[in-house]
Amino acid sequence: MSQEMQARATAKYLGMSPRKVRMVVDLIRGQGVNEAYSILRFSKRAATEPIEKTLRSAVANAQQKADSEGSYLDTDELVVSEAYVNEGPRQKRFRAAAMGRAAPRIKRTSHITIIVDSKE
């Protein structure tokens, strides 16, 4: 492959805390795509499912981009060059507490962004 192939995928408004998702994303950053798949497959964290879905979307976007440019892309050569989690909007809810009070609950959301790049 003569030029650099880079593709991105984003999952927004994921109903998980960004801190919990970052723990898993940190494991796959800088890894090859196949290695990242195996790490996600054998991790017991709940965040692995949406992260794997986003990674598969990024790989599919890279293949689509290569096909539209008329070049060949070997998916084994792709690397997770960037992967980060940003905080989405917080949902503020209230729950009943003792003596007629209300206790606030903050439900956090996350935005996952994964960028795959070809090895050079």
Residue 57 φ/ψ, nearest 5 degrees:
-65, -40
- Domain assignment of residue 1, yes or no: no
Domain, as residue range, for 65: 6-118
Where residue 85 sits, what CATH number does that domain have?
A: 3.90.470.10
Interatomic CA distance for residues 4 and 55, integer angstroms: 18
Check residue 1 and give its pLDDT. 38
| 30-71 pLDDT, tens digit each | 999 999 999 999 999 999 999 999 999 999 999 999 999 888
Q: Indicate whether 43 belongs to any domain.
A: yes
User: CA 16, CA 90: separation in Å to the nearest integer?
Assistant: 10
Total domains present in the chain: 1
Tens of pLDDT, residue by residue over 10-38, are 999 999 999 999 999 999 999 999 999 99
Q: Which residues are registered as beta bridge partners of 118?
A: 78
3-state secondary structure of 16: coil
For residue 62, the tally of other CB atoms under 10 A from its CB is 24
Q: Is residue 53 part of a domain?
A: yes
50 in a domain, yes or no? yes
